Structure 1
Amino acid sequence: MKKQIIGLFLVAASLVSNGAAAQKIRLAEGDLSPLAGEKELNVEFDYKDMKVGKMTETEYVNKKRDEYNKKEAGKGDNWVKAWEDDRETRFEPKFLQSFNQFSGGMTAGPLASAKYTMLVKTTFTEPGYNIVVHRVNAQVNLDATIVETANRNKVVAKITVEKSPGGAWFDNDFDTGQRITEAYNNAGMSLAGFIRSKAH
């Protein structure tokens, strides 16, 4: 039994590491050294002009709403509400929780008093899917632009995160929101580690 548990753990760890390996994070411009010693980081999120799969967000949302409403009256409208609400109730809290866990002492959140602000813009979302016999992880691409809070025109650095993966262990992720939440979880962890390693 013990060997089976260890085996399952190794398989799960392999799946997570394989997904994370596809993720790319890089410093696109600027310098992160000004963040050295900072204990607070204001964070704001933006989803404007985000692409979803091969569609604009508006096209994707309208398509899903119509599909669900055809199956059951009102189901599509409820789906749209959940799609929008998940940002504040699931994606952003998970991102911040993960970031704070791996930041090495820096607290990130809605902290208007912080010297620096990180503007996290989601540029692309792949919702993924799970139909039991086949599944695809969710993914998000983010642009994290760090500016002076008192002067938003003063850009300190810009970091890009590509293909941050989202999926649950053992493929138990039938809910789209859950998969995307995990993509933000991984993005928060990766950004925190990246900033910590570069802010000397």
Structure 2
Amino acid sequence: MKLIPKMAAVAWLLAAGVPAMAQKIKLVDGDLSALKNEKQLNVEFTYDQLKVGKFDNEADYVQKKTTEYNQKESGKGDTWAKAWKNDRKDRFEPSFERLFNDNSDDTKVGDYANAKYTLIFHTTFVEPGFNVGVMRKNAYIDAEIRIVETANKSKTIATISLDNAPGRVAMGMDFDTGERIKEAYAISGKKMARFIDKH
């Protein structure tokens, strides 16, 4: 009988689905030295051509989940689809900004239209993960970050890749999809702040 808890623990770990590669941030092109004396950095978030889980097209994922939830409970899918979009402005983006600003030595990000430079955080992939108590899979995101001149956004001074930013809540109490993904944006903000400070 003592083997049962151990087997359950192993199954839980296998189901966690933690990405094989750890989170990576890499300066792909350009130079971040121009940000050294900047106190404010405008920030924008984009989600075009977003891939979600096994879906190459976000719209296909949203349609599938909406239909599934509506079949279980009338209107539940429509509510979920609305939250899927609204979470970006309500949860993900504020979490990124808050953790960036908490961890940056000098530069703060936010809605600074007059800042010399803009950080464009383009999410390219989202793994929503799941948590059904006995089984779970962590969320994570991939993104491409461009630092551009605010007055001329076609002029990029640096490009950064961010892969496998993990999203999960301590103690595994992240049954809500948006909560898991929110944590991925929070860790992204924290790591980006430290990455820029080092460069």
**Alignment of 1:179 onto 2:188:** no
Superposed counterparts of 1:88-167, under 5 Å: 88-167=89-168
Counterpart for residue 26 of structure 1: 26
What amino acid is aligned across from residue 133 of structure 1 in structure 2? V
Cα distance in 1 between the residues matched to 2:85 and 2:152? 29
Q: Which runs of 4 or more aligned residues in structure 1 lie more than 3 Å from their structure 2 counterparts after TM superposition? A: none
The C-alpha deviation readout for 1:126-148, integer Å capped at 9, x for no partner, is 00111111111100001110000
What amino acid is aligned across from residue 87 of structure 1 in structure 2? R
**Alignment of 1:54 onto 2:54:** yes
TM-score (norm 1): 0.88
Cα distance in 2 between the residues matched to 1:145 and 1:82? 27
What amino acid is aligned across from residue 28 of structure 1 in structure 2? V
The residue matched to 1:45 in structure 2 has which SS? strand
The C-alpha deviation readout for 1:50-88, integer Å capped at 9, x for no partner, is 000110100100000000011111110000000000000
Shift, 1:156, TM fit: 0.5
The residue matched to 1:62 in structure 2 has which SS? helix
The C-alpha deviation readout for 1:66-114, integer Å capped at 9, x for no partner, is 0001111111000000000000000000000000011112110111000
The residue matched to 1:132 in structure 2 has which SS? coil
The residue matched to 1:170 in structure 2 has which SS? helix
What amino acid is aligned across from residue 123 of structure 2 in structure 1? T
Cα distance in 1 between the residues matched to 2:124 and 2:137? 19
**Alignment of 1:42 onto 2:42:** yes
Structure 2, gaps ≥5 residues long: 1-17
Cα distance in 2 between the residues matched to 1:58 and 1:111? 31
What amino acid is aligned across from residue 76 of structure 1 in structure 2? G
TM-score (norm 2): 0.88
Structure 1, gaps ≥5 residues long: 1-17
What amino acid is aligned across from residue 50 of structure 1 in structure 2? L
Q: Say how many residue pairs are matched.
A: 180
